[in-house]
């Protein structure tokens, strides 16, 4: 079985495992808990030190680009006052990363495996994931 880049993108947009396509990225019943490995195919989802920073960067970028900067511009040009801008900005800074938790993890895994598709077990044949190439 071979996983193509278009399948990786599709699976990333649908929040499914990049390797097997199963709905197995997150622990059942927990909104904010990534499975360390895919229960269906064994793909290591948390790929080690610092890997969790990728979804943080995605959430941060979306929050700044679509909430903080627009609120700042509205406040600078006097459309809204500084106090409402600060309150709205704080609320958005808390809410947007929480709402994007699952999407940002899925998008990060999609980006990672889009550029390194050979890291997927289905693209590596019978070799184990922890084996070096």
Contact 18, 113 (CB under 8 A): yes
Nearest approach in angstroms of CB 117 to Zn ion is: 14
Nearer to Zn ion, 25 or 58 (CB): 25
Q: Is 34 helix (H, G, I), strand (E, B) or coil?
A: strand
Nearest approach in angstroms of CB 96 to Zn ion is: 28
Nearer to Zn ion, 100 or 113 (CB): 113
Nearer to Zn ion, 34 or 68 (CB): 34
- Chain residues in the site for Zn ion (CB under 5 A): 17, 19-20, 22, 38, 40-41, 43
Q: What angle do CA 95, 17, 25 make, to 5 degrees?
A: 45
Nearest approach in angstroms of CB 48 to Zn ion is: 18
Nearest approach in angstroms of CB 42 to Zn ion is: 7
Question: What backbone phi and psi angles, to 5 degrees, belong to 26?
Answer: -120, 150
The Cβ of residue 92 has, within 10 Å, a number of other Cβ atoms equal to 18
């Amino acid at each position: 079985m071979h996983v193509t880049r278009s399948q990786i993108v599709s699976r990333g947009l649908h929040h499914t495992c990049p390797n097997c396509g199963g709905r197995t990225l997150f622990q059942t019943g927990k909104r904010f808990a990534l499975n360390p490995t895919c229960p269906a195919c064994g793909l290591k989802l948390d790929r080690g030190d610092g890997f969790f920073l990728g979804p943080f960067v995605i959430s941060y970028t979306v929050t700044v680009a679509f909430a903080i900067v627009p609120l700042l511009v509205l406040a600078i040009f006097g459309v809204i006052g500084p106090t409402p801008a600060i309150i709205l900005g704080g609320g958005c800074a808390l809410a947007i990363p929480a709402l994007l938790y699952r999407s940002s993890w899925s998008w990060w895994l999609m980006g990672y495996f889009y550029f390194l598709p050979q890291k997927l077990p289905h693209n590596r044949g019978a070799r184990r994931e922890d084996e070096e190439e």
